[in-house]
Amino acid sequence: MDNPFRTVKDKSCVLITGGSSGIGFQAAKQLINDKHQLILPCRNKEVANNVALELRREIHKNMKSDQLLLTPIMDLSNLESVKDFASELISRDLTIDTAIFNAGLQYTGSKTPRLSAQGFELTFAVNHLAHQCLAQLILPLVLKSKSPRFVITSSEVHNPNSSGGRIGAAASIDDLRFLAKPNVNKILGGNSNFDADKAYKNSKLCNVLFAREIAKRLESLASPISVIAWAPGLVIPRNSQGFFRHSRKYNELGQRIFAFLARDILQITETPERAGQILMDIAVNNEYCLSGFNYLSNNVKGLGKMVFERSDISNEAKDDELAKSLWEFSSELIGISSTI
């Protein structure tokens, strides 16, 4: 398959998931505007066409859209779709400088789990499993770069000691099997202990564990790579879209009141535009080409004041054995023998 990209001097080729809305879309707009090459997979053709139409408006007049933008199809809720997408990239023999695993799903408020095409709990499947699958498959393309980088969007809620992590059930991975497949029989009988909010927090914990483990494995193979897990802070746009769009239907009034208090009264939220700028910076700026694993967070320092800085991760996220077990368990579910 032909490669539509031409070399753009001193610019990066960036792959980003979750680039059709929210933080990812804001980062994509700024990356394209700065003439970086962008691979932005979308879950279906309709979304791909709409995103391409929007992003072409950002493309410099001296550049053609097919020199800077690809919008192939990939559904993160289906591992076969992820594998097909990876095969397409490999067939193009691309060099990917930065892979941003940004897509995230939350449906807090639901009493029953939603399932992926392969029958895995949907939050775990989309937020973690599909991204590990993609990382393992496209790793050779990333390692071709002179300054390879993985960027993983996590959240402070992975840490039970953070302000968000203390609300509701805390992140804690007691059983990897339940993480992937909550007991459907119990759910049908009305006795499920499934918690959609905890499932989201656990998926963010998985993001950090995955980031630590892939950095560790690559370092042991003398293939060091910059792996940055980051937390954007609480991002609530003023429209009906954004991160909370899936969970809003379970508590519309509560979500609106919370958004008003957090964003307009307490001023503890970040704008999508600013969060997108941070994501672009850590994806392509040299100052963020850090050695090995690093965790950075956009922390509240006062009324309306956010500071993006190096932060600590939870005690569970530091568990080397858990990180290894999660990697091996996920590889088994994916059906790909780990090459690292």
What SS3 class is residue 136?
A: helix
Q: Rounded to whole angstroms, how far apart are CA atoms 173 and 323?
A: 11
Domain limits, the chain: 13-233+272-334
Q: Rounded to whole angstroms, how far apart are CA atoms 333 and 125?
A: 10
Q: In this predicted structure, which of 16-25, 86-95, 257-266, 312-321 has the lowest mean pLDDT?
A: 257-266
63 and 35 in contact (C-beta within 8 Å)?
Answer: yes
Residue 339: in which H helix or E strand, if any? none
**Sign, CA torsion 144/149/154/160:** positive
Residue 5 has pLDDT above 60, yes or no: no
CA-wise closest residue to 227 among 143, 157, 289, 298: 289
Residue 106 has pLDDT above 50, yes or no: yes
Percent of the chain with pLDDT over 70: 80
132 against 112, higher pLDDT: 132
Q: What is the dihedral of CA 289, 294, 298, 302, to 10 degrees?
A: -120
Question: From its phi and psi, is residue 242 left (phi > 0), alpha (psi between -120 and 50) or beta?
Answer: left
pLDDT band at residue 190 under the 50/70/90 scheme:
very low
**Sign, CA torsion 46/86/330/148:** negative
Residue 270 has pLDDT above 50, yes or no: yes
Q: Rounded to whole angstroms, how far apart are CA atoms 11 and 8?
A: 6
Amino acid 188: pLDDT: 38
Amino acid 224: pLDDT: 81
Phi and psi torsions of 287, nearest 5°:
-65, -20
Mean pLDDT of 240-261: 54
- Distances, alpha carbon 112 to alpha carbons 75, 107, 167, 171, 190, in Å: 22, 10, 20, 18, 9
The amino acid sitting at 253 is L
Q: What CATH fold (topology level) applies to the domain 13-233+272-334?
A: Rossmann fold (3.40.50)
> 19-29 pLDDT, tens per residue?
999 999 999 99
List of residues 6+ apart from 148 with CB closer than 8 A: 96, 97, 98, 142, 225, 226
What SS3 class is residue 217?
A: helix
> 134-151 pLDDT, tens per residue?
999 999 999 999 999 999
159 and 313 in contact (C-beta within 8 Å)?
Answer: yes
176 and 182 in contact (C-beta within 8 Å)?
Answer: no
Residue whose entry in the numeric block shows the structure tokens 């390692």 = 143
pLDDT band at residue 248 under the 50/70/90 scheme:
very low
Residue 267 has pLDDT above 90, yes or no: no
The 3-state DSSP composition of the chain as helix, strand, coil percent (nearest 5) reads 45, 15, 40
Amino acid 1: pLDDT: 43
Per DSSP (E only), the strands in 96-183 are 98-101, 149-153
Mean pLDDT, the chain, integer:
86
> 64-84 pLDDT, tens per residue?
666 789 999 999 999 999 999
- Distances, alpha carbon 295 to alpha carbons 82, 156, 231, 282, 305, in Å: 26, 10, 8, 11, 20
Q: Rounded to whole angstroms, how far apart are CA atoms 40 and 35?
A: 14
Amino acid 340: pLDDT: 81
The DSSP code for 42 is: B
Residue 256 has pLDDT above 90, yes or no: no
Chain mean position to CA 40: 13
Q: Rounded to whole angstroms, how far apart are CA atoms 232 and 272?
A: 9
Phi and psi torsions of 22, nearest 5°:
60, -140
73 and 48 in contact (C-beta within 8 Å)?
Answer: yes
